[in-house]
Amino acid sequence: SGINAECPLRPGPTVAKPFEHLPSNVVPVNYVLRLHPDLEQNTFKGQESIEVNVKESVNVIKMNSAEIEVQSAKVVINNAEVVPSNIATDANTETLTLTFGQSLPEGKGNVVLEFTGILNDKLRGFYRSAYTDNSGEKRRIAVTQFESTDARRAFPCWDEPAYKATFDVTLVAPAKCVALSNMPVVKEEIQDDLRISTYDRTPIMSTYLVAFVVGEFDYVEGRDENNVLIRVYTPLGKKEQGDFALDVAIKTLPFYAKYFEIKFPLPKLDLIAIPDFAAGAMENWGLVTYRETALLVDPLNTSSNTKQWVALVVGHELAHMWFGNLVTMQWWTHLWLNEGFASWIEYLCVDHCFPDWKIWLQYINMDFKRALQLDALDTSHPIEVPVGHPEEVDEIFDAISYCKGNSVIRMLHNWLGAEPFRKGLAHYLNKHQYKNAVTEQLWASLEELSGKPVNKVMSTWTSKMGYPMLTVSITENANGVRLNVKQQKFSATGDSGSSFEWMVPVTVITQSNSTPQKFLLDKKEDSFVLEGCKAGDWVKINPEQIGLFRVQYDEELLKRILPAIKNQTISAADRLGIQEDLFALAKAGYSNTANLLTLMGAYVNEREYVVLSSINGNLAELSSLFSHLPCSSQFKAMRRRIFSRILGEVGWEKRESDKHTDSLLRNMLIGALGKSEDKEVAEKCSELFEQHLKGDKPIPADIRSSVYLTVRQSGSEEDYAKLLSIFEKTDLHEERDRVQRVLGNGPNADLRSKTLDFSMGDKVRSNDTPFVISSCAASGADGRVQTWSFVKKNYSTFLDRFGRNMCCLYKNPFISKFN
């Protein structure tokens, strides 16, 4: 907790900066925008004519602008040109103010500007990137990242989501380059080695969704069943790596069109891999940008885990084409609605495309678990946070917005029923398309189509931080079986000090009645009759882990359900959930460790990947917590006992009968045993590594990351040098990612120091720096101390290099290593 308290990277109590929204007396209608980026000088020139609606007579026009030099400005209104008497920019408020010597009359007009700017290296606004092709030639790129408030770094504009407008874009670029924007090209000409591309007018949209990319790319293309042209752009020589994402997009777009009852509103959709990218991806309308590892799939060298990640990210971003782009939040306070919803429906989409992946089961151990972990902390925040100054926006782009947001949506979906929920969404999107909306308007549509008190229930989940713990027991008598439920706030410290109550949709199954029974707990405690339940039955609260809460069973109920876990008569999701809940309860002090150890014994026959992954993660957490104590070796021995036998059954080689999750299981087992210092696994990994280096037999992609990790655990300088050599020679970003995520994960302090310095060098892309640093923090207690000293020492360098992207780049990758 001491580290958390002094952490300069963790948002803490701050004094809110003064902030005022732009005046609404002049609003944009259409931007005619021409940009000419210079890829050699890292600058750009721009001209724009903004059609505006002057709602009342004014002598000042204020818009957003940052790091832009305005050369000239004028307003054309009523066929007359009016030149401002003063052009002023304010770096603190990021505004451009045009002051006129006379009042501008009401009506339509055009603000005409000429300006210049820089292609920055901060991964936001209009910025520069580059890659080296197969021949060793450097290829330069200009690309945009405008969410949340960085369109103003590319052109002066009304850079708030509520100021929607249409855009007519022209890009001037080297003739050899591809130039892309949101819409298709309608006119193109070549002048003096320059390509001048003019694009069709966009639908009405927010500035943060506008995008431009200029660079040299290959592409693959196809059309979906609604004849939408879809292209996936890759670096030169890698177009086959776009095939998988293209296939996912072709399946996904019509799935959403049917689900939302609205066809995709644009004539084309481009997905493009960008070498330097701060986030995972960005949902620019019609031109979605991705970091390479979230889009590209190499048929021979990409793991099943990465393919799954690519499918989820593609599904997430394409959901935004409707939910976020077609209907947009009024202001960033409602960000969770964008991200929470897209983070839920990406799983629905992937389950549709790849039903054998068991993606909803994996969801419980990914987003759902992350939500429960973070929202139990005293430093959490509500899903919906009032946002003032734009800098506050970056602080809420976190796992609460994404993971808790989608967990609440999933719970709501289950409570309302799949079809009423879908119809409510379609009603909401159709009613508010091309407009802005707030959370309550979604609740209103869902309430209207379901007939349930959605707003009343959901406001208890969005307005407060945290979630409940349900303490349950049963009463059995001649009148039947009653379930007794009491709620209180769950806290990771074991003492919430909160009397807040939620309206909790509770679902129950029993040994004699597998049909889910649903109740609404709308008070501190209540009891419910369990239909069809017999005396002595086991009772499972929250089947399939739908509800966002922890469950504490009394000892009798816990004892009854142990045989059902052991003989697997309850589902994998329920086996997972019971273990996760009891681990969290024991860790927080609500339950004793003896109950947890008794429960763990019931998983002796467990072979489901997600359940075993959860158990491994919890044991790894205990091992990390006690890594500085003698009992650390006992935790490692426990992991070896549990997982070595299972690896013996699964084997090292992929089998014809393997399912998708079997590949994930094999990699997890090797990694767990490697971290637990299993000698046989270490020897086998060393053997595979040497064969791989000699070119005799490549390590299968699905286990390569765990083999690299286990080899690195040895701590030898020779193996470290070999891994570095792989990093420097490969042109596959996923392979570089595998290496950089394990490079610091060894016992040698000197090699960790070398890795930390390496993370800040020019061989590591800035968006990958956190993962290299994280590998050092993951190496144990000494590594955490060493890494933390490095982070504090170099904090000012990080801040200078990344600016506001600090939150996005550093919050998740390695802060968790210190919790």
Q: Which residues are annotated as catalytic?
A: 317
The three-state secondary structure class of 360 is helix
What is the Cα–Cα distance from 797 to 767, expressed in whole angstroms? 14
Helix or strand (DSSP H, E) at 752 = helix 749-759
The three-state secondary structure class of 452 is coil
What is the Cα–Cα distance from 140 to 447, expressed in whole angstroms? 51
Contact indicator for 613, 365 with CB cutoff of 8 Å: yes
Contact indicator for 313, 290 with CB cutoff of 8 Å: yes
768 DSSP assignment: G
Give CA torsion, residues 379, 382, 386, 387, to 10 deg: 60
**Side chain identity at residue 140, one-letter code:** R
Residue of 474, 355, 352, 334 whose CA lies nearest to 405: 334
Q: What end-to-end distance do the CA atoms of the chain give, in Å? A: 7
Where are the alpha helices (H) located in 399-497, listed in sequence order? 399, 405-416, 418-432, 439-450, 454-462
Residue of 56, 22, 57 whose CA lies nearest to 152: 22
What is the Cα–Cα distance from 287 to 282, expressed in whole angstroms? 9
Contact indicator for 22, 199 with CB cutoff of 8 Å: no
Contact indicator for 147, 140 with CB cutoff of 8 Å: no
CB atoms within 10 A of CB 296: 26
Mode of pairing for the β-strands spanning 125-132 and 80-82:
unpaired
Buried b (16+ CB within 10 A) or exposed e, 695-727: eeeebbbbbbbbbbbbbbbbbeeebbebbbebb
Spatial neighbors of 317 by CB under 8 A, at least 6 apart, are: 271, 281, 282, 283, 288, 290, 342
Where are the alpha helices (H) located in 433-524, listed in sequence order? 439-450, 454-462
Residue of 781, 785, 711 whose CA lies nearest to 742: 711
Where are the alpha helices (H) located in 198-319, listed in sequence order? 243-260, 304-319
**φ and ψ at 754, to 5 degrees?**
-65, -40
The three-state secondary structure class of 693 is helix
Place of tokens 């923090």: 777
Categorise residue 79: left if φ over 0, alpha if ψ from -120 to 50, beta otherwise: left
**Side chain identity at residue 357, one-letter code:** W
Query: How large is the C-alpha radius of gyration of the chain?
Result: 28
Task: Tell me the two tokens of residue 689.
Answer: 């590594």
Give CA torsion, residues 693, 697, 699, 700, to 10 deg: 160
Mode of pairing for the β-strands spanning 229-235 and 268-274:
parallel
788 DSSP assignment: H
Place of tokens 């339509």: 108
69 DSSP assignment: E
205 DSSP assignment: B
Q: Is the peptide bond before 613 cis (omega within 30 degrees of 0)?
A: no
